[in-house]
Structures are given as structure tokens and as C-alpha cells.
A and B are shown apart, each in its own frame.
Chain A
């Protein structure tokens, strides 16, 4: 899988609402599509996106084939302390790719 892209604000102060934008380039093959040979293209999607901060789950998204290719998720959380934000993508078959970023929360 490709490397996910994670977008965060450059500076974060305590009490800020931190927007998180995460994107992964992935075909999200639905399993309901015909290939050039007329046969069914097997399903291969990212079925889970798990975002956590210092091990605490912030958001877990279970995806179905109805999520568009290159799955994108955007949400926000409250900056309370510095720490590492981790986003893990799991694909059909169990392959994982992850991205993480350290967020320095200024007083």
C-alpha cells in the first residue's frame, strides 16, 4: 500500500481544536466491478481506519465498498497535551499501513 498522507496544523496551542485530515491512495476495489476480461474483479478495500492519540482511540472508521477510492477522512479533536497521533489503515487480507505525527501542544 502507498504511504498515507496526514495533514495537521503547524502550530497547536492548548485548548485548540485540531483538525485532522487523512488520505490514502487506494483503489477501494468494490468486488462489484467487471474487469476487461468480463470477469468479476475481486474485492480489495481498506476496511478500517483507526486514529488514536497516545494509544487512546479518537476515531475508528469501518469502511464498506461504498466509500470512494482514495479514502479520505476528516475530523477534529481538542488539544490537551503533546503526543503522537497515529492513523492505521487495514486492507482486506490484513495488510496495514500507518502514519504518525508528533503534536507539540504549546501552553
Chain B
């Protein structure tokens, strides 16, 4: 039953603060309890925050990020992390038309969920898919407009039972 451990997560409402906030707190607690031993703990959550930050940096490429113009719709509570519906929308047209979208789950073993390149659909963006979530967290959508602007939206999702697509920690490389 080793693999079962990660599959059942408590119902914890994700913090509405910046993603990674709760992680730092957990990391701090772990450090406080375990001292130097924690530094060698595999899969320690600080690494997850770094993975998320580097994913964001990769997408934004130094450009400023706007918090308006993009919407991420998701259920506040998901019974199961196996399949959580999410919808990304934007009213932008012309230079504000969304041409690329990336979905990120900061607390998943693999932070990047998907990248969508949008062609000339002739309508404002409305994109839906279903994602896996290992635990409760704030999912982030990043978008790039035709004019080169970067937009960001997020949605806090409380997961009752984590997505069991992930039993194992991520192997390096």
C-alpha cells in the first residue's frame, strides 16, 4: 500500500495567498522539527516552489505580468483529483487576442499541465479541459497575447481525494 499514501489528502482549503505560501510554511515546520535532517529529505516542498517559479519565468521571459484580461474557471471543491474540469477564457481580440496558454499546478509532482497554441479561430478564447491534481492547491493559467503581453489568472481548488496518477516522487532528470 505504499503508493496509497499520497492518494488520500485531507480536505484542506487552499490558501488564496500566492501559490507556494503554504509550502514555505510546511517547509519551515519541517525544518523546525527535523533540523538539518530536513535538508536531505527527498521531495522537500521548497523544490516544488522553485519548479513553479522557474515554469513561470520560462513563460514570461522577463515580461511584466498582467492580472486582468484572463479568467480561470474551476470548481472550488473537487471530490476527486483524478479529473477536475477547468476553463480558460479571455475577451481579448486584435492585439489582445490570446495566442498561447499554459496551465500550471504548483503542488503537483509535475508542475506543467499543458500548453495550448491558439490559431486564428475568429472568436475570443474559451478553452476547457480536465486536469489531475495531487492535492489542494491554486492552479495558475498564463497566457500570451498577439501583442506580446503576458496575462495571469488563478483558481483555488480544494481536492478531497488526490489524483492517483502520481504515486511516485519525480526522479531527477
Q: Identify the A interface with B (CB < 8 A).
A: 17, 28, 30, 32-34, 38, 40, 52, 56-78, 80
Contact = CB atoms under 8 A, between A and B. Distances in A.
A66 B52 CA distance: 14
Contacts, number: 120
A58 B82 contact: no
B132 interface: yes
Interface stretch (B17-25, B63-71, B111-119, B143-151): B111-119
Interface residues of B, number: 38
Interface string B112-133: 1111111111110111111110
Contacts of B166: 30, 32-33, 65
B146 to A, nearest CB: 15
A30 B108 CA distance: 12
Contact of A62 (B82, B114, B132, B170): B114
Q: Which of A34, A59, A68, A76 has its CB near the most chain B CB atoms (within 10 A)? A: A68
Interface of A is mostly: strand
A73 B112 contact: no
A70 B82 CA distance: 11
Contact of A80 (B110, B122, B132): B122
Given A17-B123, A59-B116, A68-B165, 17 more contacts: A30-B166, A32-B166, A58-B118, A58-B119, A58-B121, A61-B116, A62-B115, A64-B114, A65-B166, A66-B113, A67-B114, A68-B82, A68-B130, A68-B163, A73-B128, A74-B128, A78-B121
A12 to B, nearest CB: 13
B105 interface: yes
B167 interface: yes
B163 to A, nearest CB: 8
